[in-house]
């Protein structure tokens, strides 16, 4: 399915009007079902929808690993994904209410979570240390992979990486969707994320921190800013949180032990 459409526009440049064409990102409603239960409808880019559905289920605590997956069916038109899971998840599904989402930069696919939920979550136990150079190199690679963003300016990106470089990259109109697509691919490929790095293009919210914690990555990077709740959550979950990563500059908001920090003496 095409991810962008060419439309006719009227352009204004330096005092002059003209008729022109522009490439605009496509947006479709995608409903995710689990064992016949309608979980959520999200507005998304119509690509990697299997990854999106499985990543969403993982991030919501409904799917632990690939062994639980029985079948996945994706609508050829891109409007739904139906997932069948093994095991006793009926009560978990019954306890959930249907939600309609937008593609905006709010809390995405879940309602507000209190700090208590982060306090009771599993803290990251990885003692891996990453170099400062890795942060800058990965952000540079990340921007080079953002092909759809350069074409349309209308998507967010997310990527999984290790110290050698980006392993896979996903784009979507929503930040949460892009991250879910990365998580879904981790599930399908059986990737061990305990020594990996998650990179996102936009603001780091507490929900993005939780998604990173669900797959066990020790380091989360963004060229943008975190929220205060994201920082508190990262500290509680022992996740290294890096924001404003641009060129050779970045801020460390949590998990300083995973970077070789040496303070200047002047």
Active site residues: 105
CA 194 to each of CA 106, 129, 163, 197: distance values in angstroms, whole numbers, following the listed order: 28, 12, 13, 9
Residue 153 carries which DSSP code? S
* Rounded-to-integer distance, Cα 185 and Cα 183, Å: 5
- Give which of 36, 66, 35, 67 is closest to 51, Cα–Cα: 66
- Give which of 202, 243, 199, 196 is closest to 215, Cα–Cα: 196
* Rounded-to-integer distance, Cα 217 and Cα 182, Å: 12
Taking a C-beta distance cutoff of 8 angstroms, is the pair 35, 93 a contact?
yes
Give phi and psi for 240, each to the nearest 5: -80, 120
b or e along 188-227 (b: 16 or more beta carbons within 10 Å of the residue's beta carbon)?
eeebebeebbbbbbbbbbbbbbbbbbbbbbbbbbbbeebb
Taking a C-beta distance cutoff of 8 angstroms, is the pair 35, 84 a contact?
yes
């Amino acid at each position: 399915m095409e991810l962008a459409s060419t439309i006719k526009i009227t352009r204004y440049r330096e005092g002059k009007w003209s008729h022109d064409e522009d490439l605009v990102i496509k947006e479709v409603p995608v409903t995710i079902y689990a064992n016949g239960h309608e979980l959520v409808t999200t507005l998304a880019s119509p690509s990697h929808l299997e990854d999106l559905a499985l990543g969403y289920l993982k991030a919501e605590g409904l799917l632990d690993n690939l062994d639980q997956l029985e079948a996945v069916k994706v609508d050829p038109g891109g409007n739904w994904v139906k997932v069948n899971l093994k095991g006793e998840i009926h009560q978990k599904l019954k306890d959930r209410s249907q939600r309609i989402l937008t593609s905006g930069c709010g809390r995405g696919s879940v309602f507000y979570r209190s700090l208590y939920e982060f306090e009771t979550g599993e803290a990251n136990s990885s003692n891996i240390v990453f170099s400062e150079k890795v942060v800058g190199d990965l952000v540079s690679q990340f921007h080079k992979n953002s092909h759809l963003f350069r074409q349309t300016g209308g998507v967010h990106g997310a990527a999984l990486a290790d110290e050698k470089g980006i392993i896979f990259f996903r784009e979507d109109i929503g930040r949460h969707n892009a991250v879910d697509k990365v998580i879904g691919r981790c599930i399908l490929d059986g990737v061990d994320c305990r020594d990996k790095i998650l990179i996102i293009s936009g603001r780091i919210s507490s929900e993005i921190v939780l998604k990173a914690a669900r797959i066990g990555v020790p380091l989360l990077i963004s060229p943008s800013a975190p929220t205060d709740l994201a920082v508190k959550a990262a500290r509680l979950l022992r996740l290294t949180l890096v924001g404003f990563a641009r060129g050779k500059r970045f801020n460390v908001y949590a998990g300083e032990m995973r970077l070789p920090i040496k303070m200047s003496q002047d």
